[in-house]
Structure 1
Amino acid sequence: MSKWLIVGSGGFIAPRHFESIKNIGDEVVGTCDVKSDTNPDFTDYKEMLELVSADAVAICTPNYLHYPMIQMALDKGLRVLCEKPLTLSSKEIEQLPNDGRVGAVLQLRYHPVCYLRPMKKLEGGSIILKVYRDDDYWASWKGSKEKSGGILFNLGVHYFDLLIYLLGNEYKIIESSYSDRLAKGKIDFNGSVFDYYIEIMDNNDGQDRRLTISGQEISLSKQDNLSYEGWHTDVYRDFKGGKVVTPFEACKSIKLIEKCIHTQQQ
């Protein structure tokens, strides 16, 4: 039985981590959050790392804190499972070890659509994400491009990771545009061309997460949030067995996002 610490224990995504740790037979021995009203064991991450003996830490904090918190945990000899994105730049993620000590939560790799992956050639199509987020979203760190990375880092990274996982890491960006609420473009994956459309809507009508590939239209989730699909437990089970989405793998979607942003800026 492994002993876990959770930082960001009072946040939206943390319950998926508590549940998954329990599901795989491990235990949480320390929690940390800056919001004292969520009743964490600690409000100071460094203090928790110093005082509590553990095997691993789950990082559920705002995106801009991921990289320094990963490094601090590694310095204490802990394994790390971190919510997406691991970092907000490819330069940072390339500094992380690829020996199984660090894993990224990119749970769309557990979607049944991944049965298509062994096929030699997949035809192009589209990936569409339309989600509603209320005023609390925009008032939080998620509404800050500096802290979240913006719409592509905060939402698009799951879907770009899925496309690379299915189609490979050879691609050319044909079109790209983005704003706070909308990112869209066209990417050629070695002959398989995909349109992407990622929108944060201001109403709750018509939410959608859909992939069209090789003539098949596939729902990626009908839940209000992707985390409700239950794939976090699969991520934890594999992490416990030594199988992780390494920084090297997670970096591929980060670099694709950076190139999409750069393409628009040209």
Structure 2
Amino acid sequence: MSSKNFALIGAAGYIAPRHMKAIKETGNSLVAALDPYDGIGIMDSNFPQADFFTEFELFESFIDQWHRDGNKPIEYIAIATPNYLHSSHISFALRNGANAICEKPLVLNPSDIDNLQKIENETGKKVYTILQLRLHDSIIALKNKIAKELETNPNKIYDIDLTYLTSRGKWYFASWKGDEAKSGGIASNIGVHFFDMLSWIFGEVEENLVHLKQPDANAGFMKLKNATVRWFLSVNYDYIPEDIKATGKTTYRSITVDGEEFEFSEGFTDLHTRSYEHILNGGGFGLEEARNSINIVSEIRRLAPLVLQGEYHPFCKKVLS
């Protein structure tokens, strides 16, 4: 496979180094990067020769001139910007002759997917999103196991608890991540790939309820075709179980299926590279693959919390008691 040229929008964020690593490890080149923040020494260990811009207009001019000068085309633009900018930056990539590879959540609203599909049709270029959990070996094994069980018992309903806490400091709420209009809120920011994974394995959502909706924690209940899911998501360290705190950890991730813990804590480090390999080999997850999870999180934003009613996640009592 010949080397391809990439550009990157959003080079200074937390996730950008994983995209740089993926571009490098798949044998491709980063031609240009854009970010309003200019303190990104990580460029030196990946693509020190890449052109770098802090202003979108100059980056746009460079991309245009690169093509006019007859250089090898920039075939992919990777997007690792704040969530509310994704749709605009994807559109920019497509209209400038590149395919887009965008971080999750792909967009904030289902209507954005509809608009981007029109631009795909107009330009002949494609949008890919990073749904890395679909490439995790343990999760693929779980999907295969569930699929086999459903072949013999297609009406089986699994009982699932999803608990994910990843501690964030005060900076989080001063940044765009703490602004629901820009990030989509907790469910979009840290939960969307879990919702995608569960609906990918257990079927589409038939019922979606919210019990808790606070800036630092969301919780709710979903009925999927073949599962009921109680979920709790938070960035507040205080809600982490005491035995986990005692180990010094600041993150807690747990998924139980019919009361049995599903272990998938390892194997995350190379998933962006595997995502890029998947795309470059003719696979990848596009707009329609992303739609179900975007429907889920956009509906969560609209729903009023039920508080301690119905089948709520037990961690809700940590917040509301």
After superposition, the CA RMSD in angstroms is 2.3
**Post-superposition offset of 1:214:** 3.9
Q: Does 1:41 align with 2:67?
A: no
Larger CA deviation: 80-89 vs 135-144: 135-144
1:219 Cα deviation after fit:
3.3
Flag the structure with larger Rg: 2
Corresponding residue for residue 144 of structure 1: 179
How far has the Cα of 1:136 moved from its partner? 2.2
Asked if structure 2 preserves the Cα contact closer than 8 Å seen for 1:100 and 1:243, the reply is: no
What TM-score do the two structures reach when normalised by structure 1? 0.90
Please report the TM-score for the alignment, with normalisation by the length of structure 2.
0.75
- Structure 1 residues 84 and 217, CA gap change in structure 2 (3 angstroms): same
Cα deviation, residue 240, structure 1: 0.5
Segments ≥4 residues shifted beyond 6 Å: none
The answer as to 2:286 corresponding to 1:246 is: yes
**Are 2:64 and 1:50 aligned?**
yes
Counterpart residue type for residue 22 of structure 1:
K
Note closer, same or farther for the CA distance 1:71–1:254 as it changes in structure 2 (3 Å cut). Answer: same
Q: Which residue of 1 aligns with 2:303?
A: 263
What is the deviation of 1:210?
Answer: 1.5
Q: Percent identity?
A: 29
Instruction: Report the counterpart of residue 127 of structure 2 in structure 1.
Output: 102
CA change 1:193–1:27 in 2 (3 A) is same
Partner of 2:234: 199
Judge which range, 193-202 or 165-174, deviates more: 165-174
The answer to whether the Cα contact below 8 Å between 1:185 and 1:195 also exists between their aligned partners in 2 is: yes
Displacement after TM superposition at 1:222 (Å): 6.5
User: Contact 1:94 / 1:251 at 8 angstroms: preserved in 2?
Assistant: no
Deviation at 1:216, TM superposition (A): 2.9
Contact kept, 8 Å, 1:182 with 1:200, in 2: the verdict is yes
CA distance in 2, matches of 1:152, 1:82: 18
CA deviations on 1:63-106 (whole Å, 9 max, x unpaired) are 11100010011001101100011111111112223787111112
In structure 2, what is the Cα distance between the partners aligned to 1:168 and 1:230? 27
Deviations 1:197-222, CA, capped at 9 Å, x for gaps = 10111458352111112443123436
| Residue 235 (structure 1) aligned with residue 275 (structure 2) | yes
SS of equivalent residue, structure 2 residue 158 = coil
Higher share of residues assigned helix: 2
Counterpart secondary structure, 1:229: coil
Instruction: Please tell me whether the aligned partners of residues 86 and 250 of structure 1 are also in contact (alpha carbons under 8 angstroms).
Output: yes
Distance 2:305 2:232 in 1: 18
AA of the residue aligned to 1:189:
L
For the residues of structure 2 that align with 1:107 and 1:15, how far apart are their CA atoms? 15
SS in 2 for 1:55: strand
Q: What are the within-5 Å matches in structure 2 for residues 156-195 of structure 1?
A: 156-195=191-230
Q: Distance in 1 between matches of 2:232 and 2:26?
A: 36
- The letter for the 2-side match of 1:231 is L
CA distance 1:131–1:256, change in 2 (3 Å): same
Write the distance in 2 (CA, Å) between the matches of 1:207 and 1:216.
20
Question: Number of aligned pairs?
Answer: 262
- Determine which structure has greater relative contact order: mean sequence separation of CA pairs < 8 Å that are 6+ residues apart, divided by chain length: 1
Q: Which amino acid aligns with 1:134?
A: G
Instruction: Using the TM superposition, give the Cα deviation of residue 265 of structure 1 relative to its aligned residue in structure 2, in angstroms.
Output: 6.4
Q: Which residue of structure 1 lines up, in the alignment, with residue 315 of structure 2?
A: none
**Residues 1:61 and 2:81 are matched in the alignment:** yes
Of 250-259 and 231-240, deviating more is 250-259
